[in-house]
Each structure stands twice: as C-alpha cells, then as structure tokens.
Structure 1
Amino acid sequence: MFKPVTHVLFDMDGLLLNTEDLYTVGFQKVASRFGKEFTFELKSKIMGQQSKEFAGTIIDDLGLPLTVDEFLSETRAIFDELFPQCQIMPGVEKLIRHLHDHNVGIGLATSSSKESYDLKTVNHQKLFDLFPCKTWGTSDPDVKKGKPFPDIFFVAANKFPDKPAPEKCLVFEDSINGVKAARAAGMQVVMVPDPRLDRARATEATLILDSVADFKPELFGLPPYKN
C-alpha cells in the first residue's frame, strides 16, 4: 500500500507549529472590524496559499474594503506579536530528531515568507536548525505558484544534494491544498488535518493521522522508532 521513501518534506503551519490557530485569530481580528466572520470553510480554502494569494481570497470572500497590501500590512502587525508565541505540535520533535539522527534527508516546504518563518521559529531554533534544506514559498522566486500547485515540492526536493525522484519523497501536510500539491508533484503524502476537517474531502492523501505522534516510519521504509 505504501512505497518506501528516502527523503521527507514537511509543511510548517498547522503541521510542525500551531500557527494555523494564530492565523485564525489574526484574520478574525481584521474581519471583525467590518462585521465579518473568518469561517473554517474559508480557512480551509486558503491553507497552503502564498501571502498575496490568501489575502486576495479573504478580501474577495468577505467583501473587505481593503487592498491586498493593506490587508497584509494590517495582519503583519498582528502576527508580529502572535507568531513568537507559537508551540511545536505533538510528536514533531521526536520524528524530526529521529530522521535526522538516522541520516534521512529532511526538508522544510512552507508557503510562509522568510520573514514570517523567522518570527515563528524564534523560540524553536534548535529544532529547525536540523533541516539542512528549507524552502519559503512566498519568498522563493522559483516557487511560481502556491499550493495546490506542485511548485514548492519540486523546488524543495531539488535542494537535496542527491536530488531524489518525486516517488522517493514523502510529504507531511495538514491542508487539502498541500495534499493536492504533493500528489501533483508525484509524491506520497501523510496528512494530519485539523479535527474539524471532513476527511471525506481528503481522498488524495496517502495516509491520514490524528497526530504526527501516531506516525510509524517503517510503513514507508524509514528506520523505526526504538521501543
């Protein structure tokens, strides 16, 4: 059912860090000024998109009287305070350190900008320093389109020195857009979705888990955890 892999790519927001909760707080704060609600349905639509993409989607869906630049400027001020408070999700540190210790190629493939990444990881540097390869979709000119397009995963995989074939890469994602992007890139994908997501909508995921803590590396030919 699952094919063995040699490299693993990780999304960040909502998967490694609980920043999706913080995004919701920030977007709702702006929406509330205009009597609007930032719903989970809208959240599901934008997850994985680059900054200007999600800003445009939110503005259009909620009918906000703001330009993309105005929306991003306003939310950036909010997130400057919120992002440094983010926490690592359950099971994440164990898995990343395990793969690193066993010399498995690991890479970060986040739609976030480099500036946003720096805010989110300021208190988690030791963990994120374990990633030798990082791709920030919003900041990387080689990532032409955000998720659900596969650009970011092709770019991220190409940063590994041995440039593995797509079928040798396993992706960890929390969003439907991310799953679609990974599958479009020809990669297997483990999805760890928000509990509110209707899993019937995630038919393209190779495997769906409640938590990264539930992952068994040996299912994909990776070194198993020691008991």
Structure 2
Amino acid sequence: MNNCNGQFKTYFRPVTHVIFDLDGLLLNSEECYHKIDEAVIGQFGKEVPDDLFLKILGYSDLDCAKKIIEICDLPISPKQYAKEVQRFSYLLKDVKLLPGAEKLIRHLVVNNVPIAIATSSGYESVQAKLHNHKELFSLFHHIVMGSSDPEVQYGKPSPDIFLVCAKRFFENPNPEQCLVMEDAPSGVTAANRAGMQVVLVPHPSVTLKERENATLVLNSLLEFKPEDFGLPSF
C-alpha cells in the first residue's frame, strides 16, 4: 500500500479516529531542537554531526539523549543531558505550524472526527511548544506525551504510545480504526506494530528505504485527502 512519490491511491482501509505526531508534522520545531542540541553539545567543545537529526528523529527525550551522548561522546548521563535541554526550552515557544496542519485539524474537528496527539516529547517541552497555539491544540481529545507518561513503557519504534493513545479516546477504538500521521520512520514502525495505518510526511532527508513501510507518503499535509480513508472530504 506504499507510495513513495506522494501520489494518491484510490482506496485504503476506512478509519474513524486520527492520531497525530507533533514535532516535524504539525509544528516546525526541528530547527529549534537543532539549536538547543547545538548549544548543549557545544558546552563540551563538540560539534553537532550533520546526520544527528536523522539518527534521533522521532525518539523519546531520554532515548534522544542516549543516542546523542553516544554519538558525540559526551561526559554526562542521559538525565543530565535532558536537564540541560530544559534550560533552553524557551526557544520552543516561537515554533510555527507547518503547512496544512491547522486546516486539517479544524476540518476533522468540525466533522466530529476524534483526534489526539501521540508525541515522544515530555510535558515541559510540549507546554513550551504549544505556548502560542493553545486554542488550536485544545481541540484535540487528548495528548499522550511519551517521555513523561507512565503508561508508555517503551518509546517509538515500540507501539506503546499509539496503543495508549487509542484506548484514551472515549470510544476506545480498535487499532485498525485509527490512522496515524507521522514524520519519522520510527513512528511508522511503531504504528505498524500497533496495527494502524500510517501516513508519512517525511523530512526530505528521510531515505526511500525508510519510507517504504508507510501506508501512504506525502510531501505535505496539504496533499492529504481525508476521503481516501473514509473521512469527510474538505
């Protein structure tokens, strides 16, 4: 069911609920995170590797810290790194919405399609990122924050976060009734393991190989056609 060119197929399994990732899909927060990692890593006289972004894309705060420490050979623990990152969280307050995000969110809400967010980020960073978008994100039924949610035992690519997110909908839908919207290969793997279809809107650096397990690949949320998944059309 994969299409790596961003073109549409005529039929996918109909769904009733939609679960969104946050960073890199709805919010253009990756640039801010790059600045934060640059600042923290720079304190130890190290430079940020060019491919660091792709190696940590979609992972939980702690898993990101572990990978960064290993890749950059930093003399601190993952928890210490996470604390350092929090010192620069003010940079996240100015993140912008990505193209098509607000249009799709409001369309689904107006048409009574239950929506939720499943993000690997923790509570503090989510609150910072949503600072200028509180009204829009209040429209979501709930937000699962993997790095600070006790029910999410393992982060992406494990399916935990999507299964937890699905069961918190009032209707408690089956996994096959949920559509996941993602930007990261680890999120695609997690959605597949949860038994959910997944639309991938990847960063250009994500390889064709990393895109092939998505149900559908798009260049932007602006290309998404809800009716392809049995949802009300725009």
Which of the five TM-score ranges fits, normalised by the shorter chain? over 0.9
The aligned amino acid for 2:35 is V
Post-superposition offset of 1:70: 2.2
2:78 equivalent to 1:68 = yes
2:195 pairs, out of 164, 186, 196, with 186
2:37 equivalent to 1:3 = no
CA distance in 2, matches of 1:82, 1:19: 9
Matched-pair contact (CA < 8 Å) for 1:189–1:207: yes
The aligned amino acid for 2:164 is V
Q: Which runs of 5+ in 1 are unaligned?
A: none
Runs of 4+ in 1 over 6 A off after TM superposition: none
Matched-pair contact (CA < 8 Å) for 1:107–1:134: yes
CA distance in 2, matches of 1:101, 1:189: 22
String of CA shifts for 1:75-112, please: whole Å, max 9, x gaps. Answer: 21112x21001001100000000000000010111111
CA distance in 2, matches of 1:178, 1:22: 20
CA distance in 2, matches of 1:166, 1:45: 28
Post-superposition offset of 1:40: 4.9
Q: Which runs of 5+ in 2 are unaligned?
A: 1-10
2:215 equivalent to 1:215 = no
Q: How does 1:1-227 map to 2 (within 5 A)?
A: 1-79=11-89, 81-225=90-234
Post-superposition offset of 1:208: 0.7
- Of residues 28-37 and 169-178 in structure 1, the stretch that sits farther from structure 2 once superposed is 28-37
CA distance in 1, matches of 2:150, 2:112: 29
CA distance in 1, matches of 2:30, 2:170: 31
CA distance in 1, matches of 2:222, 2:52: 28
Post-superposition offset of 1:133: 1.7
The aligned amino acid for 1:92 is A
CA distance in 1, matches of 2:102, 2:156: 25
String of CA shifts for 1:24-59, please: whole Å, max 9, x gaps. Answer: 111122223344333353322222222111101110
TM-score (norm 1): 0.94
CA distance in 2, matches of 1:198, 1:50: 21
TM-score (norm 2): 0.92
CA distance in 2, matches of 1:88, 1:31: 27
The aligned amino acid for 2:57 is M
CA distance in 1, matches of 2:79, 2:17: 37
CA distance in 2, matches of 1:150, 1:221: 24
Matched-pair contact (CA < 8 Å) for 2:28–2:95: yes
Identity of aligned residues (%): 47
String of CA shifts for 1:181-226, please: whole Å, max 9, x gaps. Answer: 001100000011111221322211111111111101111111000x
- Of residues 147-156 and 41-50 in structure 1, the stretch that sits farther from structure 2 once superposed is 41-50
Query: Alignment RMSD, CA only?
Result: 1.3
Give the length in aligned residue pairs: 224
